[in-house]
């Protein structure tokens, strides 16, 4: 059987949820069926060391703006991949179409509020929309995200495929088993994510300032532009001694697994990897009912808890969960059952079938 050539496209391998998804797919596609290439604008980031050595990397290096687009077009013309799989760089679909070699552009949109909506300036927004419209297929990480993409870009629903994010359960459980010493008689809370408005850490800090019924500590794992602002907020709310900003952690799972409660306070997501990873690590999960993802993952009271995107909603659920070890244990066990649906081999197999179907359909058309 002739191998299918696939080009994966992402800005970099910096440490984030989308980059981790790309890393998982790139590393685990069946090499008996796929030749895998990776295009990055910058070959840097915390996941570079984890990339399989047989992945052929193409880097735009010092090119900027339109020169990057022309470089990518040239590389597509040279490689002639059957499928170009794009994450976080939708304008790459323009280069695919410009190359005119029959490659199929596929964009995996990572958020329910696409980058076009949060980018500054009309030119990035215009290019993002153009790239999305030029994609032959879109992949959404959740059903809610699929509905959003259908409405925003007018893409026929049959051209949007839902494939959930993969979770490497066995690796996470091994990493979670590493020892971490935590104080007793304190409820250990943990949150993970880039320190930006989307993640709602400001709501979480305000909620915790009102939690007085038990002793607690919060550890926030992640970096971002709002770090100084959030630290000042914790100080202003007189909880700075209980909140620790720990930055990026190479192994967040050991702390997740030893904590009492993981909290996702986001205003929006796509399908939040960190909720899945927290379940795999063995910690009870509380998430906001943000669009999209948490309500597709969590059945309240069975494998996690949900709350409104508000200070009051977070506060009330934190108090309820913090006061009941029995409830937290129930959610942990339910989470371990739920996470099996997102196990890495199962999700990679879905991607393989998706890519094979696209390539075979294109071959039949010609």
Domain harbouring 104, CATH code: 3.40.50.2000
* Block residue for tokens 């720990």: 246
Residue 366: predicted pLDDT: 47
- Condensed to tens digits (0 to 9), the pLDDT of residues 218-229 reads 999 999 999 999
Q: Are 95 and 88 in contact (CB under 8 A)?
A: no
Residues in the chain: 366
> 59 pLDDT exceeds 70?
yes
**Tell me, what's the pLDDT at 257?**
96
Token output for 65: 């703006």
Crossing angle between the packed helical segments 92-99 and 122-134, to the nearest 10 degrees: 50
Residue 283: what pLDDT?
A: 98
pLDDT at 21 over 80: yes
Mean pLDDT of the 204-229 span: 97
Same domain, 92 and 118: yes
Residues 123 and 247 in one domain: no
Same domain, 222 and 291: yes
Contact present, 206 and 200 (Cβ < 8 Å)? no
337 and 214, same structural domain?
yes
- Structural domain containing residue 109: 4-166+343-365
Mean pLDDT confidence for 188-204:
96
> What does the pLDDT read at residue 116?
45
What percent of the chain lies above the pLDDT cut of 70?
Answer: 95
Distances (CA, A) of 24 to 57, 230, 345: 15, 32, 10
Residues 252 and 177 placed together within one structural domain of the fold: yes
User: What number is the average pLDDT over the span 246-274?
Assistant: 94
State yes or no: pLDDT of 304 exceeds 90.
yes
Residue 129, SS3 per DSSP: helix
Indicate if 301 and 205 belong to the same structural domain.
Answer: yes
178/268 same-domain check: yes
DSSP code at position 263: E
252 has a pLDDT exceeding 50:
yes
Q: pLDDT higher for 281 or 152?
A: 281
Closest CA to 46 of 12, 22, 18, 21: 12
* pLDDT at residue 203 is higher than 70: yes
Q: Structural domain tally of the chain?
A: 2
Q: Which residue has the higher pLDDT, 127 or 96?
A: 96
Q: Identify the CA nearest to 9 among candidates 44, 46, 57.
A: 57
Asked whether residue 265 falls in the same domain as residue 215, the answer is yes
What pLDDT, on the 0 to 100 scale, is given for residue 123?
73
User: What is the rounded distance in angstroms from the CA atom of residue 151 to the CA atom of residue 333?
Assistant: 37
Question: How far is residue 81's CA from residue 136's CA, in Å, rounded to a whole number?
Answer: 14
Q: Name every residue whose Cβ is closer than 8 Å to that of residue 179 and which is 6 or more positions away in sequence.
A: 254
The string of pLDDT tens digits covering residues 102-124 is: 999 999 976 555 444 555 567 77
Tell whether 240 and 288 lie within a shared domain.
yes
Same domain, 144 and 16: yes
For residue 117, what pLDDT is reported?
56
The secondary structure of residue 319, as a DSSP letter, is H
Give the pLDDT confidence score for residue 152 in this predicted structure: 80
Partners of 84 in the β-ladder = 7, 105
The pLDDT of 20-31, averaged and rounded, is 96
Same-domain pairing of 139 and 226: no
CA atoms within 13 A on the CB side of 188: 15
Report the alpha-carbon distance of residue 311 to residue 39 in Å, rounded. Answer: 41
Same domain (yes/no): 194, 145? no
Burial of 179 (C-beta count, 10 Å sphere; 0-12/13-18/19+): exposed
């Amino acid at each position: 059987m002739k191998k299918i050539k696939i080009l994966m496209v992402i800005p970099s391998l910096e440490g984030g949820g989308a980059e981790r998804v790309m890393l998982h797919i790139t590393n685990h596609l069946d090499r008996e069926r796929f030749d895998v290439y990776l295009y990055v604008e910058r070959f840097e980031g915390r996941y570079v060391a984890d990339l399989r050595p047989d992945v052929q990397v193409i880097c735009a290096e010092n090119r900027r703006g339109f020169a990057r687009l022309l470089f990518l077009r040239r590389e597509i013309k040279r490689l002639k991949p059957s499928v170009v799989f794009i994450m976080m760089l939708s304008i790459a679909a323009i280069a695919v179409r410009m190359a005119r070699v029959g490659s199929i552009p596929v964009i995996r949109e990572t958020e329910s509020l696409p980058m076009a909506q949060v980018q500054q300036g009309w030119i990035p927004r215009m290019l993002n929309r153009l790239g999305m419209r030029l994609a032959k297929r879109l992949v959404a990480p959740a059903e809610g995200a699929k509905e959003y993409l259908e409405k925003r870009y007018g893409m026929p629903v049959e051209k949007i495929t839902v494939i959930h994010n993969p979770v490497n359960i066995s690796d996470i459980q091994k990493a979670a088993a590493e020892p971490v010493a935590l104080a007793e008689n304190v409820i250990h809370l943990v949150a993970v994510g880039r320190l930006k408005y989307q993640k709602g850490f400001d709501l979480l800090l305000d909620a915790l300032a009102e939690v007085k019924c038990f002793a607690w500590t919060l550890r926030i794992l992640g970096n971002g532009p709002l770090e100084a602002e959030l630290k000042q907020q914790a100080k202003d709310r007189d909880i700075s001694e209980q909140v620790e900003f720990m930055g990026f952690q190479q192994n967040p799972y050991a702390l997740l697994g030893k904590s009492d409660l993981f909290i996702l306070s986001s205003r929006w997501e796509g399908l939040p990897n960190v909720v899945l990873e927290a379940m795999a690590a063995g910690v009870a999960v509380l998430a906001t009912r943000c669009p999209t993802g948490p309500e597709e993952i969590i059945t309240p009271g069975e494998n996690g808890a949900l709350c409104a995107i508000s200070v009051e909603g977070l506060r009330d659920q934190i108090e309820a969960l913090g006061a009941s070890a029995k409830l937290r244990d129930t959610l942990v066990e339910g989470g371990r059952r739920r996470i099996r649906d997102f196990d890495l081999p199962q999700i990679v197999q879905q991607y393989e079938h998706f890519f094979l179907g696209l390539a075979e359909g294109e071959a039949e058309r010609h």
